[in-house]
Structure 1
Amino acid sequence: MNRHHRIPIRVALVLVLGCLGTAAAGFGTGSANATPPYDWQDVTADFVAPFDPGAFTDQVHRSLILSPYGTTEKIECRAFHGPGGQCRQTDPTGTHHLLHETYIANRTVVIYKPFP
């Protein structure tokens, strides 16, 4: 015997519409207090300067920054869901300078751009 269990069309329609209604109600909720994805975040602790102790030994998990300020001035980054964002460093006068990101020997290296 070959029996097929069929869901009545009305039940299927109610299930589909219920799922769509639940999904639609979820849009735009839950993120009112979350940090917007493009806000600048302080990531200074994730960087190390070439002349800092351990820059090429026990601190190799940190990104390397080539900047006249090293990590003494704040470094901020922003991105939307992962890599590919922007980073900047603020100089002592409060001017933001974008950092150019590159990779050397599987390590992220960011380079200070002196002109904003």
Structure 2
Amino acid sequence: MMTKRALATAALLLGGVFGATPTAAAQPDSTGPFDVTERFVAPWDPGAFAERSAYPLILSPHGTAAPIWCHVFRGEVFHCVQHGPDGPHGVWRVTPAEGPLAGLRPVFAFNPFDPVR
């Protein structure tokens, strides 16, 4: 009798613990993607090499007129997509993020051969 009660109590405790555990699949990705169009500047934009020279350059036929969505982690932008009139395309970083050239101004280029599905 005592064993059945102990097993029932253990089952209730374990059910409560596992029933209250959140699932990982329901958590959103905290790195994005986010609309970061305002963080970029096209080379032909006013101030691209003056007051907005700290902004990353975007080499794209759409400039900053089409939205740019990227993942962001610790202030670093990666895995970008630009949603132009011809659909979404990948935007690749041209300048290295690591190594001896890492201090260069970030430059991203629109890739017409990388349609994102």
Residue 77 to residue 57, structure 1, CA distance change in 2 (3 Å): same
SS in 2 for 1:45: helix
> What is the percentage of aligned positions where both structures have the same residue?
40
Q: Is the 8 A contact 2:41 2:57 kept in 1?
A: yes
Aligned partner of 1:49: which letter? A
* Aligned alpha-carbon RMSD (Å): 2.7
Aligned partner of 2:30: which letter? P
2:69 aligned to which of 61, 76, 97:
76
Aligned counterpart, 1:109: 107
- Report the Cα distance in structure 1 between the residues aligned to 2:67 and 2:91, rounded to whole angstroms: 12
Shift, 1:85, TM fit: 2.6
- Report the Cα distance in structure 2 between the residues aligned to 1:62 and 1:83, rounded to whole angstroms: 12
Structure 1: gaps (5+ residues): 1-26
When normalised by structure 1's length, the TM-score is 0.62
Worse overlay, 47-56 or 103-112: 103-112
Aligned residues: 86
Aligned counterpart, 2:51: 58
Aligned partner of 1:75: which letter? I
Structure 2: gaps (5+ residues): 1-20, 96-100
Q: Is the 8 A contact 1:37 1:81 kept in 2?
A: no
Query: Deviation digits for residues 57-104 of structure 1, max 9, x if unmatched?
Result: 1101111000000000000101455536301101114x2111110227
Q: Is the 8 A contact 2:70 2:77 kept in 1?
A: no
Q: Is 2:42 aligned against 1:44?
A: no
Residue 35 to residue 81, structure 1, CA distance change in 2 (3 Å): farther
When normalised by structure 2's length, the TM-score is 0.62
Aligned counterpart, 1:67: 60
Worse overlay, 36-45 or 73-82: 73-82
Aligned counterpart, 1:8: none
